[in-house]
Every structure is written in C-alpha cells, then in structure tokens.
Structure 1
Amino acid sequence: MSIDEISKRKGHKDFVTVVCDIEQGNLVEVIDSHKQDKIIEVLEQQPLEIRERVKEVSIDMWGGFPKVIEKVFPNAVVVIDRFHVMKAVNSNLNTIRKQSGIKVKNNKFILLKNGIDLSAEENEKLELILKQSDRLRTAYELKESFRAIYESELTVEDRKKKIELWMDKARKVYCKAITTISNHIEGICNYFLSRTTSGVMEGVNNKSKLIKRRAYGFVNFDNFRMRLLA
C-alpha cells in the first residue's frame, strides 16, 4: 500500500489523504482530512482480516503516517519512499549550489541529475562546475555515493551500516538531510526488503491533479472523492 496527501484546490493547504494499492495500481480511498485520528477512523472501517494482509506501506516522511500504519495495518512495516529520501539530499545540494554562485548554464540540472546518466558533454560541464568550488565538489560526490547505496546489492543490514557511515562522513555538508535521514533510518532501510516505492501513487496523484484542473477545483469533498475513485 501507499499513503499520501494532495490538496483539494490548487494553492490551498486544504489536504486530503489518498490510499493506494500499489500491486493493483488502484486508488482505494480518499479521506477528507490530514489528521491521524480521522485517517485511522476511516481506514479501520475495513475488516481487520483485510488490513492484516498488508505487509508494507510506502510513504513520504510526514510525521503522522507511521502512527497511522502502526494502528491500522498491524503486520505492515513502514517504507520511506526512495524518491523522497533523494529529494532531501538533492535539496541540500541545491542550497550549496546556490551558495557557491556557479554561473555555468544548466548547472542545477547537471548537478542534480544521476551521474550515471550524464552524457559526455554533460560530464565536461560537470567538471567545469566542480572546479569552481571544493565544497560543491564534496557535496556532489557525497550525493552520488549516497545514491550508489540504493543501487548496491548488499543485505539490508549492510546497507544500513553504509548509510550510517555516509551520515558520519557527510554531517558537515548535509546537516538538514542528515537529520531527516537519521529520524527515518528504519523506514528508509525497509525499502531494501523488496524495493517498494510510491511510484504508482505518484501516477495516481498526477491523474488526480488533472481531474482537479478540468473541474477548476472542488468545493464539495464528496464530489471530489467520487470523481477520483471513478
């Protein structure tokens, strides 16, 4: 399963919670709240024997979802989606990029792109960028070494040790990201159990946003919910 939140109307912090079956690729529930108690109340309407079958729930790093999972899905482990972890690291890297005052064209795109996917021309630009700041070079190399942990074929425990070693090494550069990763280390490492991601949920969210745009937003939640489930 995957749990996420979306806004009912663009530009408004009026969130609803969406629940998706990752295996089937289906949206299974839309809840008119972002509060733990309400989410739990709605999801507990499903029979316990069904909820006990859920083994993994993929989420972002919002603090409330793990409590919901613990209460509603007693046999499930929390999996922090890989995309959101890398987003935290890339956000820190982007801050360092801005502080470095790099003027090379498209430098943000090149720095945040996976190193393995860079073309020969992009690699040349990358070296030109990194020559201008030792701190930025260190930050970039740390970003790539963190990404490599996700690509490795180690055991879950060995990957956890690698992440902990990475945090010790990167602490002076990635202060904010380190705090985030440290606070969610178990959920981050649970990803390596079966590499569950929220990719299906991202697709569902994109379709939901398209429905919202076509309707110019929804004032009535029941109409919004029925449209999404349909």
Structure 2
Amino acid sequence: MSKELKQLIALDLTKNISRKHICQDHFVSDVTVQRVLDKYTKQVKPSFHYLPKVLCIDEFKSVTSHLGKMSFICVDGLTHRIIDVLPSRQLDHLITYFKQFSKKARHSVRYLVMDMNANYGKLIQKVFPNAVIVTDRFHIIQHIHRNLNTLRIKEMNTFKKEEKAYKHLKKYWKLLLKDAFDVNDTDYHYHQSFKTYLTHAQILDRLLDYSPVLKQAYEFVQELRYAYRQRDFESFMEVIHHIDPSLPEWFRKKFDIFKTYQNGIYQAFTTPYSNGITEAINNHIKVIKRIAYGYRRFSYFRLRILIIQHHSQWQKKNVKKVVNG
C-alpha cells in the first residue's frame, strides 16, 4: 500500500465517518484501516508532566466491559482540549491513573469542575491537594428542574386522565420550568384546550391554581432561580435553609444535596468555570458512537474520540508521522 493511500486513510480517520465507509471509499479491508488507526496510539499518548489549572471531569456511556458501562473524560477547562479518556469512572482506577502524573503537575490543578458526585470529590484529598471543587452550574439548575417536574407529575396523577387539570398539566409542563421573567404576558393566542385567548402567563396561573402544593414549590424554585441568576450564593443558601415545611418531605430532602455541596456551589457562583465544554464533547462522543454503530473495543473508541476531537490540530506533518510510524 502506497504512502499516499495511507495518508488519505489517516486523514479520513480524523473525520467523523465510520471505518466501513473509509474501507469502501479507498477499496481496502477493515484490517488495513485498523493498522493505520493503531499508528495513532503514540500521537495521542498523554504527557504525564502537565495538567491544566482548570480540570473538567465527567462520565459518559461507553462500551460494556468488566469495568462497567460508564467511561471517564477529563478536559482542560481553559483550552477545551481533551486530556484523556479512561475506560472506567471507578475511584481506584482514577487515583491510579492520576498518580502517574508528576507531583508538580497534580499540584498545579487549582479547580476541579464536576457534577455532584461524591466519589470524584475524593480525588481532591488523594490526588489534587491544591484544588477546590467547582460544582457545575448546569447540574445545579438541572437538579432544581428535575425535582419540580417530578412534583408536577405526582400532582398531575392525582387527577383523572379525562379531567382538564390532568391534560393541562401534561401539555404545558414547560411553562413551569421557565424563568418567571421569561414567561410572555403580552401576546394572546387561542388555545383549544382552554377554548379562549390567553397569554403564557395566564396559562401558568391556571396551572398553579390546580395544585396549592405545586404553586408553593414553583415559588420556591423561582426564588432559587433568581438567586442563581444573580450569582448570589448567600441568598441561594438562605432559600434552601428556609424551604417551606408544608412542602412534601421527599421534595425538601432532594435539596439537602445543595447543603452538602455548598462549597462547590460557592465556587460555581464566584468563578467563570463550568463543565459546558465537557457536556458538548460528550454529545460529540454520542454522535461518533452512533455513526460507527457502537464499538466493541474501548481502545479503538478512545482513539477515534481523541483524533476526531483534535482534528484541527492534526497538521499534515502529524499525518506523516502516523504513516511513517
């Protein structure tokens, strides 16, 4: 096989297309494409002498193995470059992996951006002694919305399916999750289920009239959202500590997690760092996996993730290194 053909295959491997299509386009076997892919291994090997100041970590659904279905990803929060992708999110595996980095590299990490996962927090004690946890803002608001929506479903199910209250709470649920400031109160539209012209604000009022409990929870959530939008940590925690005792116990307990992670929430409100880039990369990984109809071997899945995500940095000289191997 000529070097030119190897270069074309190597370039195609940096694009989000399946190996099957690469084989068809270049009239080669899958084994040939696999051999070219194997040569990328050296190019994506991490440097154990560097870690970024801001380290974003998360997990995603990967290949099924003896280590579980979930894999681990860590990203540079400033350059948005993937540091590495690991086959397991288990704490002992993560500690073993990060211990390979030099002490200077590990001590250079100042912020560990993550969701509300207790296991990841233990990395601070064992691996990154100079870092503080930053709770991802997306997961804060997601937790608030998820629990309000669960309460809506419970209240909705107290009505019969034929009743208007059930139908309205099911159809217009998105209005309950909107910020009160974003709910339109000027534009009237005809709504068949109400048989009249209403604004979104008027529909919201009718939904809340169906359930006093839902109305109390909605007002509580709006107070939280206002403090969140203002990045007012003290007000946010004050609302959490003074939650209405008349709300269901299970609902109140769901917000105790914010007390546990209040230090991380404080950092989320006072620093600009978030896991937004990691969530975006996770979505790209889902696309890579879907286009390939899944992967059986994690090593090949990892290689494709790294070379596709870093495709802009794969200059012609890098492809030549792969080909000349």
- Tell me the TM-score normalised to structure 2 length: 0.64
Preserved CA contact (<8 Å) 1:9 1:212? no
Give the whole-Å Cα distance in 1 for the aligned partners of 2:174 and 2:231. Answer: 28
Preserved CA contact (<8 Å) 2:228 2:236? no
Preserved CA contact (<8 Å) 2:75 2:81? yes
Q: Which residue of 2 aligns with 1:26?
A: 81
Give the whole-Å Cα distance in 1 for the aligned partners of 2:84 and 2:125. Answer: 18
Of 112, 118, 138, 1:63 maps to: 118
Q: Which residue of 1 aligns with 2:276?
A: 199
3-state SS of paired residue (1:197): coil
Of 75, 79, 85, 2:140 maps to: 85
For structure 2, the residue ranges without an aligned partner over 5 or more in a row are 1-54, 157-165, 186-198, 308-325
| CA distances 1:136-168 after superposition (whole Å, capped 9, x unpaired) | 1111111111011122254xxxx2x32332123
Give the whole-Å Cα distance in 2 for the aligned partners of 1:95 and 1:41. Answer: 39
User: Kindly tell me: are residues 153 and 168 of structure 1, through their superposed partners in 2, closer, same or farther at Cα, counting changes over 3 Å?
Assistant: closer
Preserved CA contact (<8 Å) 1:52 1:73? yes
Of 103, 114, 120, 2:167 maps to: 103
Give the whole-Å Cα distance in 2 for the aligned partners of 1:77 and 1:153. Answer: 18
Q: Residue 214 in 1 paired to residue 291 in 2?
A: yes
Give the whole-Å Cα distance in 2 for the aligned partners of 1:85 and 1:58. Answer: 13
Deviation at 1:66, TM superposition (A): 0.6
Of 206, 225, 241, 1:128 maps to: 206
Q: Residue 163 in 1 paired to residue 236 in 2?
A: yes
Size of the aligned set, in residue pairs, is 223
Give the whole-Å Cα distance in 1 for the aligned partners of 2:241 and 2:77. Answer: 34
The structure number with the bigger radius of gyration is 2
Deviation at 1:185, TM superposition (A): 1.6
Give the whole-Å Cα distance in 1 for the aligned partners of 2:244 and 2:256. Answer: 9
Give the whole-Å Cα distance in 2 for the aligned partners of 1:96 and 1:52. Answer: 43
Give the whole-Å Cα distance in 2 for the aligned partners of 1:69 and 1:26. Answer: 21
3-state SS of paired residue (1:8): strand
Q: Which residue of 1 aligns with 2:320?
A: none
3-state SS of paired residue (1:49): helix
Percent identity (aligned):
30
Q: Which residue of 1 aligns with 2:163?
A: none
| CA distances 1:162-188 after superposition (whole Å, capped 9, x unpaired) | 233212322533323222212212111
Query: Partner amino acid for 1:86?
Result: I
Deviation at 1:43, TM superposition (A): 1.9
Give the whole-Å Cα distance in 2 for the aligned partners of 1:170 and 1:211. Answer: 43
Deviation at 1:64, TM superposition (A): 0.6
User: Kindly tell me: are residues 195 and 145 of structure 1, through their superposed partners in 2, closer, same or farther at Cα, counting changes over 3 Å?
Assistant: farther
User: Kindly tell me: are residues 171 and 59 of structure 1, through their superposed partners in 2, closer, same or farther at Cα, counting changes over 3 Å?
Assistant: farther
| CA distances 1:16-48 after superposition (whole Å, capped 9, x unpaired) | 110011211111111111211111111222222
| CA distances 1:69-94 after superposition (whole Å, capped 9, x unpaired) | 33222211001111112222212211
- Tell me the TM-score normalised to structure 1 length: 0.89
Q: Which residue of 2 aligns with 1:15?
A: 70
Give the whole-Å Cα distance in 2 for the aligned partners of 1:107 and 1:170. Answer: 25
